[in-house]
Structure 1
Amino acid sequence: MVIGKLALFLLYAFLCQLVFSSSLPHLCPNDQALALLQFNHTFTINGFDASYRSYYPKTVKWNRSTDCCSWDGVLCDEMTGQVIELDLSSSQLRGKFHSNSSLFKLSNLKRLDLSDNDFFESLIPPKFGELSSLTHLDLSHSNFTGPIPAEISRLSKLHVLSIKSHSYELRFEPHNFELLLKNLTQLRELDLSFANISSTIPLNFSSYLTTLDLLNTQLYGILPEGVFHLSNLESLDLSENPQLTVRFPTTKWNSSASLMELYLRSVNATGRIPESFGYLTSLRTLRIASCNLSGSIPKPLWNLTNIEDLDLDDNHLEGPISDFFRFGKLWWLSLGNNNFDGQLEFLSFNRSWTQLGKLDFSSNFLTGPIPSNVSGMQNLYSLILSSNHLNGTIPSWIFSLPSLAGLHLNDNHFSGNIQEFKSKTLTRVSLKQNQLQGPSPKSLLNQRDLHYLVLSHNNLSGEIASTICNLKTLQVLDLGSTNLEGTIPLCLGEMSELMILDLSNNSLSGTINTTFSIGNELVVIKFDGNKLEGKVPQSLINCRYLEVLDLGTNKLSDIFPKWLGALPELQILNLRSNKFYGPIKDSRTDNLFAQIRVIDLSSNGFSGDLPERLFENFEAMKITSDNSGTREYVADIYENFYTSLIVTTKGLELELPRVLTTDIIIDLSRNRFEGHIPSIIGDLIGLRTLNLSHNVLEGDIPASLHQLYVLESLDLSSNKISGEIPQQLALLTSLEVLNLSHNHHVGCIPKGKQFDTFENSSYQGNDGLRGFPLSKDCGGDDGVPQTTTPVELDEEGGGDSPMISWQAVLMGYGCGLVIGLSIIYIMLSTQYPTWFSRMDVELEHKILTRMKRHKKRH
């Protein structure tokens, strides 16, 4: 009896223990905890910034005294205690990721997220392919680099794979992308944005795929139509692959019921938007900008009543703008740079757009006024109507929109005064290139959060109010060409956030007394086209980020401010049409003006020799880059603001609306420079324009100029340059304009290539020049000179010196040629050293010509 009760008790105790133990999770095994700690110890932690709540050091509290299953970012299996999930995203880990990392001991991992850390350009270890239980792997934005290992394609259970990169830091080896898609048949989400795939897109995709993101991956070829027929596809992004041709299905897509997001910006989808788009009834986001699309919007598209985000920018689409009011759920509408037309009157009765946040109709053909009464757009934060044909006054309701942050109405025909601003939210205002008039409204100068203020090319009046300096957050201030007068406010140099300061083409006077504070952010300063006097302020040396300094066309009087060359980023220096004077002394300081690309000192009073040592410092001019790649611009730092510059090139005064980094220009014309042209200029092989005209330069053209193989404009006119035009200049195949007029050149004009295109005006005022296109013949078809200008003896030789005739030269013709030339050389090398070398060349041409004629006759 006792034994029976004991047995029952033991059985009860065992069952209780079993139930109790099954209700508690197992503790993390020691080997798992050790692997995690070893992994963590290979990294340091970035400083914690509480303002970024999603970024925090999850591993900082890991320690042996607690169960690893309770550690932040760690999840264990409830039955075994094995680590099955590790989320260390945005954990501020820094350091090398080793190929034999202890992380790979966690063989039961199903989910692994290491995104948004800094692994110091480590390679992705192939051992990731050994974590065969993984269903989710995210290595994005963690500074991995190099090839994506083929071993990743072994993870056949993956549902989610994300290896987003930064600017092609990661790449696929040939055929590995195809192998990945072939093996990962369970994939639901694939994101390889900015990884360098450089491949066509294969046909085989997981049928479970819901998200495919291949943004900016250098794909090419034709997109298989099967991608549009993935029946579970919800989001497709193939944007920024300009070599990828996309042909939309003309019939119903298999994905039409599920597809909610379609991003195809900057692919080649030439043609019309097909009517099949009308089947995409679940579509919320449609962004097909910069795709070469044309024609009108197909009627079925208006049936997509769920559209919230529509971007058709930068195409060739056409039709009335009013049709778009049919989309009642829009919060983002961007139709810029197309051929849409019509008026904006539909805005006044489209009260359903209460949720609209962005409205961009810029660069179209819209006409008429902005409606005077519009209600309902209480959430509008960006209104962009620039570059159209809109007119009338700017209605006051715009300045009362409670959420408006960006207002861009530039390049239209608006007139009247600028209304008083009632908005407290405006940060960006651009009203340039209109017919607005009157003083700047005081309320505009009280917008304390304003970052961007562009009012240029209007008919404003009055002075620049010093209260403008109350705009402490201002980054761009453009008041150019607005008829302003008075002086420049002293406080402008103390605006610590200001990057662009443009006061050009006004009637500002006085001296530049502005003190530019230490640590300022200025990149562009344009004071050109005013009536400013005095010297260049020394405080400009505090503008360490300055790329453009334009003080041209003023009344400044100073010596050359060579100290500006110490500004490390300076690329454009324009001092043209002032009263600068004196010599530009050679610099013994290295790296002065090392980044300069455009230097214009024309129409001043500079004198003395050209600054040879300064030219040696122009390192940026010693590099060439072709125009076939991406076009880069100087001071291209702020969207919709372009730095313009007036230059003299190819015989014309032109305004460059934007300055390419390849626009390399030296203009020292209309001064009093003297001496020789330094041969060191031939080292500046990036030069596109060289203008040394209207000085008193002398000597020969250095033959080293033939090294300027991208030179497009060469102007040496109105100097005292002598000697022959170097034959090597015929190698300048990019030369479009040449002006050597009004000098003392002699001899034959080079033949061939560009020199066959220049007209008489390139050489007029050089009586000693012969050859095409001048009327004085220089040679036959074989290019051998037939006549030449008689050589004048040096007058310093005196009247008793015998005149040497061509007959004297020819006394050695025939068997005595060598003896005759030797006699002449001995005679002349002592008496006529200044002209003998030039005469020797002419003698050689003459003799060769006559020898050829003699040979033909016999």
Structure 2
Amino acid sequence: MEWFLSKHLMLVLIVLLQINGYKACLEEERMGLLEFKWFVKSNNEDADGLLRSWVDDRESDCCGWERVKCNSITGRVNELSLGNIRQIEESSSLIRIYTRIWSLNTSLFRPFQELTSLDLSRNWFKGCLETEGFEKLSSLKKLKILNLQDNQFDKTIIPSLGTLTSLRALTLRETNILEESSSPIKELANLRNLKMLDLGGIFCYHSDLDFMQDMQDMQGFERLSALKKLEILMLDSNCLNNSILPYLSTLTSLKNLSLSYNSLSGWFPPDELATLVNLEILDVSGNKFDAAQTVKGSENILKLKRLETLDLSDNSLNRSMLRVLSKLPSLRNLKLSDNGLQGPFPAEELGNFNNLEMLDLSANLFNASAPMQDSRRLSKLKKLKTLDLDANHFEVSIFQSLAVLPSLRNLMLSSNALEGPFPTKELAIFKDLETLDLLFFIIDIFDQL
């Protein structure tokens, strides 16, 4: 009898779960979403047009509303994608001047106790209503992802963000969190569970010169070492120099690091970056790494055994860098565009990149095909699928060098010095080719007749 009751009790529980899953969102959460819609409307926005599916109808399943996702079993809201809620055109260069700013009421999100992801990016929030700061979100114990990119939040939100200890990913890109005080790192270091932190574009263009000098001295960045679980760190477009590097060297859990478009200089890789032995993706494009000092960093490169993607575009390197980079055993994607690399196609240097799948050598000064004996070495690149040679000075003879790469799927050769008969015979070798860009190829139509 006891077994019979237990079995039927289990069936009842399963049915109840299925019913909850079918009815989806809870009334409290449905009303919470409508409260947010009212908040948008109270700020003189067309809430009915912007959130058409959000209707005050008990028969309407809010889990089916736009920008809302629910747990399929519990029916609780777990994702809110409220980025660019006003649907402002992002193409306008005057968007920052003419977009009306407003203040956020974070209490609107308290009904969503199962919320794991909240996207509030590109909304031009100036700040939070008084007593309604981000500390209100600390009651959302399951919140893991918070995106605040492209808002006008200032430094006042930082202490409250430091209370959201459940966060795994935090995006603060292009916000105004730096003012006349210190960097935000001190409070953010409390977020010990963070795996992703995006601080792109927040350290430049500050009006206080003394403060910017403090930033160059990296005050507060020593606290970065507290983020033991951090795997992804975005610090691009920040006017940072080499003084940031010692503080990054302690983040040995990093797998993805972007330092593009800063003011790093010297040899590559710097000693400090070579300690990040778990790196898989590294973007240091748009810096000032110097070809003259490449040899000094050549031994460091051996330590980055897991590096798969490397972007060194827009630096000041030369083709000798290729010999150094060929020592990276796991490298699959390499970008070296816009470095002023010169001479014939570097077939000899590339012959040692056995695992390479994508190579970008665009916007350089290469001007000839490689000697035949060097071209044969390219046959080792059996995994190469994408080759970008746009904006160089190659002539039609380049196809002779590339003939040993029949597995190519994407070949870009636009804006070169290609002219003459269309290379039908040469291109026939590439049986797997899916994309071919020969823009500005000057075809000799009379030779085709």
Same fold (TM over 0.5): yes
Tell me: CA distance 1:514–1:665, structure 2 relative to 1, closer, same or farther (3 Å). Answer: same
Does residue 355 of structure 2 align to residue 599 of structure 1? no
1:371 to 80, 105, 110: 105
Deviation at 1:409, TM superposition (A): 2.3
Letter aligned with residue 419 of structure 1: I
- Is 1:335–1:360's contact at 8 Å kept on the other side of the alignment? no
Tell me: CA distance 1:548–1:698, structure 2 relative to 1, closer, same or farther (3 Å). Answer: farther
Q: Which has the higher helix share?
A: 2
Superposition TM-score, scaled by structure 1 size: 0.37
Distance 1:708 1:573 in 2: 22
Per-residue CA deviations over 1:353-405 (Å, capped at 9, x if unaligned) read: xxx99752115664564216679679677351245636232577324626475
Instruction: Point out which structure has higher relative CO (alpha carbons under 8 A, 6+ apart).
Output: 2
Does residue 425 of structure 2 align to residue 706 of structure 1? no
The equivalent of 2:388 in structure 1 is 666
Tell me: CA distance 1:473–1:567, structure 2 relative to 1, closer, same or farther (3 Å). Answer: same
Tell me: CA distance 1:446–1:532, structure 2 relative to 1, closer, same or farther (3 Å). Answer: farther
The equivalent of 1:830 in structure 2 is none
- Is 2:168–2:193's contact at 8 Å kept on the other side of the alignment? no
Query: Any idea what SS the aligned residue of 2:236 has?
Result: coil
- Is 2:322–2:350's contact at 8 Å kept on the other side of the alignment? no
Over aligned residue pairs, what C-alpha RMSD do you find? 4.8
Does residue 227 of structure 2 align to residue 503 of structure 1? no
2:153 to 374, 397, 415: 415
The equivalent of 2:196 in structure 1 is 452
Superposition TM-score, scaled by structure 2 size: 0.65
Counterpart mapping for 1:301-320 below 5 A: 302=27, 318-320=52-54
Query: Any idea what SS the aligned residue of 1:453 has?
Result: strand
The equivalent of 2:412 in structure 1 is 690
- Is 2:104–2:128's contact at 8 Å kept on the other side of the alignment? yes
Distance 1:508 1:670 in 2: 26
- Is 1:415–1:435's contact at 8 Å kept on the other side of the alignment? yes
1:613 to 358, 371, 376: 376
Per-residue CA deviations over 1:696-721 (Å, capped at 9, x if unaligned) read: 99999482422335342333xxxxxx
Deviation at 1:549, TM superposition (A): 0.3
Tell me: CA distance 1:770–1:559, structure 2 relative to 1, closer, same or farther (3 Å). Answer: same
- Is 1:357–1:382's contact at 8 Å kept on the other side of the alignment? no
Tell me: CA distance 1:558–1:495, structure 2 relative to 1, closer, same or farther (3 Å). Answer: farther
The equivalent of 1:384 in structure 2 is 118
The equivalent of 1:740 in structure 2 is 441
Distance 1:553 1:427 in 2: 34
Q: Which has the higher strand share?
A: 1
- Is 1:607–1:674's contact at 8 Å kept on the other side of the alignment? no
Per-residue CA deviations over 1:489-531 (Å, capped at 9, x if unaligned) read: 1453452210010122334445542444468211110111233
- Is 1:676–1:698's contact at 8 Å kept on the other side of the alignment? no
Counterpart mapping for 1:505-520 below 5 A: 505-512=261-268, 513-517=270-274, 520=277
Tell me: CA distance 1:669–1:490, structure 2 relative to 1, closer, same or farther (3 Å). Answer: farther
- Is 1:491–1:514's contact at 8 Å kept on the other side of the alignment? no
Deviation at 1:574, TM superposition (A): 0.7
Query: Any idea what SS the aligned residue of 1:489 has?
Result: helix
Deviation at 1:578, TM superposition (A): 1.6
Letter aligned with residue 689 of structure 1: L
- Is 1:670–1:694's contact at 8 Å kept on the other side of the alignment? yes
- Is 2:241–2:263's contact at 8 Å kept on the other side of the alignment? yes
- Is 1:606–1:673's contact at 8 Å kept on the other side of the alignment? no
The equivalent of 1:547 in structure 2 is 308
- Is 1:682–1:706's contact at 8 Å kept on the other side of the alignment? no
Deviation at 1:541, TM superposition (A): 3.0
Deviation at 1:671, TM superposition (A): 5.5
Distance 1:551 1:557 in 2: 11
Distance 1:412 1:287 in 2: 36
1:524 to 261, 281, 286: 281
Gaps of 5+ in 2: 31-49, 69-74, 87-101, 207-214
Letter aligned with residue 81 of structure 2: S
Distance 1:436 1:321 in 2: 35
Gaps of 5+ in 1: 1-134, 136-158, 160-187, 189-207, 212-231, 236-257, 262-282, 289-296, 306-315, 328-332, 341-355, 623-663, 716-737, 742-762, 772-777, 779-784, 786-858
Deviation at 1:614, TM superposition (A): 4.4
Query: Any idea what SS the aligned residue of 1:506 has?
Result: coil
Per-residue CA deviations over 1:286-310 (Å, capped at 9, x if unaligned) read: 598xxxxxxxx9xxx85999xxxxx
2:317 to 531, 541, 556: 556
Distance 2:392 2:27 in 1: 63
Does residue 73 of structure 2 align to residue 397 of structure 1? no
Larger Rg belongs to: 1
Deviation at 1:533, TM superposition (A): 3.1
Letter aligned with residue 415 of structure 1: F
Deviation at 1:582, TM superposition (A): 5.7
Query: Any idea what SS the aligned residue of 1:616 has?
Result: helix
The equivalent of 2:446 in structure 1 is 770
Tell me: CA distance 1:366–1:701, structure 2 relative to 1, closer, same or farther (3 Å). Answer: closer
Distance 2:361 2:188 in 1: 37
